[in-house]
Structure formats: structure tokens, C-alpha cells
Structure 1
Amino acid sequence: MRVRSRPGRTEAGTEPDYRFSLANERTFLAYVRTALALDAGGLAVAHLFDGAGTERLGQAAGAGLIALGVLVAVAGYRRWRVNQHAMRMGRALPRTSMGLVLTAVVGLVSAVAVALVLAV
């Protein structure tokens, strides 16, 4: 039995070179790995300071990392879809500010973590 896919936004235009599609997929998977690492880091930070008298700060730092993990997962899927469409239509790939967002939030949470470690 042959499975037919319904035409969608990603199927418009011409089929890009499979190497570009696979590279786009690997980039998406890197976003997913980063999101999972942020989730794990957020849980670790939240539990590391549990009962150390700094629970609120630890919870805030952990929640910040987990929220960033959610954002990265959603942004990774969106970026994969937009890039795939751009390749099919023969357009330039759009730019992203995700690197700046990741750097800013992880830097902020890291600063909070340093303050927590020094406070304990």
C-alpha cells in the first residue's frame, strides 16, 4: 500500500538537494538536543538548591532554563519549517536571533547560579 502525503506548505516549489534537506533536519535535531539539555539543566539547578535556604532563586533559575528549553524546541521546529520552505522556493534562508536569545538567557541564569553557589 502506498502512502500519500497531503500537499502542504513544505511541498510547494521544487525538491531541494537531499543533502540540504538532511542538513536542515540535523540542525532541527540540534535544537531538540539543546532544548533537552536546557530542561535537564533547569531541573538540576532547581534541585541543587532545594533546602539550601535559596530555594526561590534556584527555582527561578531552573524555571528560566526550562522555559528557554520550551522556546528553543518551538523555535527549532519553526526554523526547520521556514528553512525547508525557503529551499523549496529557491530563496535565501532567513536569519535568526536565536543565538543571541540563547546566549543572553543562559548567561543570565549562569550569573544567578554563580551567585547561588557563592551564597551557599
Structure 2
Amino acid sequence: MVEPDRPDERFTLASERTFLAWMRTALGLLAGGIAMVHLVPEFSTGWVRTTLGLMLIVLAVLAPIAGLRRWLQVRHALETGATMPEDRDLWVFAVAISVIAGLAVVVTVIGAL
């Protein structure tokens, strides 16, 4: 017998895929941070590489936490009919990655001069 208040499995599975995308993003940020610190010695100075790499690694630590938090909020909204979560976490990550990329561009341009 199907429960009438049960959320559609398609939405639940889509939410899980989004959660897994947060995990993939975290792994990519971690790989990028480690690469920045250890694999590109010709990129700017040591402290700049370390700073940019650590910023990526910190985002890699925060991404799974944000993804899990958002997944739990979405699951709650699907199960109870509550409103969907705010997009604040998405904005924070978009702005943070944009700032890091902007800093990398500035360092690259300054280094090319």
C-alpha cells in the first residue's frame, strides 16, 4: 500500500544526486587545493600558492557539510511539504570560488608582467 503523504521517489533520488554533486565538488576542490600547494611551484610565490591552496582546501572541508545540511533540509521539505531551503549556501560557495579564481587571475597577470 502506498502512503499518500510520501514524497515522489524521483524527487528524493534527484536530491540524493545533488548531494553527491556536493561530494564531487568537495573532492575537486581538495584536489585543486593540493595541486596548487604541491604541484605548481612556478605559480607565483610560495605564500600565494599556499594561501590559494588552503582556501580551496577549506572550501573542500565545508562543501560536504553544506551539502549534507542542504540535503537534510530538502528531505524535510519533501516529507513535510515545507518550503524549500534558502539558496544562501549556494551563493556563499559561488562567491568564494569566484574570489579565489579572481585572485588566481590577478596573481597570474602580475606574474606575467
Short-chain TM bin: 0.7 to 0.9
Identical aligned residues as a percent = 39
Residue of structure 1 in register with 2:91 after alignment = 100
The structure 2 residue matched to 1:74, chosen from 61, 65, 70, is 65
**CA distance in 1: counterparts of 2:106 and 2:44, whole angstroms:** 13
Q: CA RMSD in A?
A: 1.8
Instruction: Give TM-score, length-normalised by structure 2.
Output: 0.83
Matches within 5 A, 1:1-120: 14-50=5-41, 54-118=45-109, 119=111
Report how many residues are paired: 107
* 5+ residue gaps, structure 2: none
* 5+ residue gaps, structure 1: 1-13
More displaced 10-residue stretch of structure 1: 103-112 or 58-67: 103-112
Q: Is contact 1:61–1:113 with CA below 8 Å preserved after alignment?
A: yes
Q: CA deviation at 1:53?
A: 6.1
**CA distance in 2: counterparts of 1:90 and 1:34, whole angstroms:** 28
Residue of structure 2 in register with 1:4 after alignment = none
Q: CA deviation at 1:93?
A: 1.0
**CA distance in 2: counterparts of 1:62 and 1:112, whole angstroms:** 11
Q: CA deviation at 1:114?
A: 2.0
Q: Which AA in structure 2 matches 1:69?
A: A
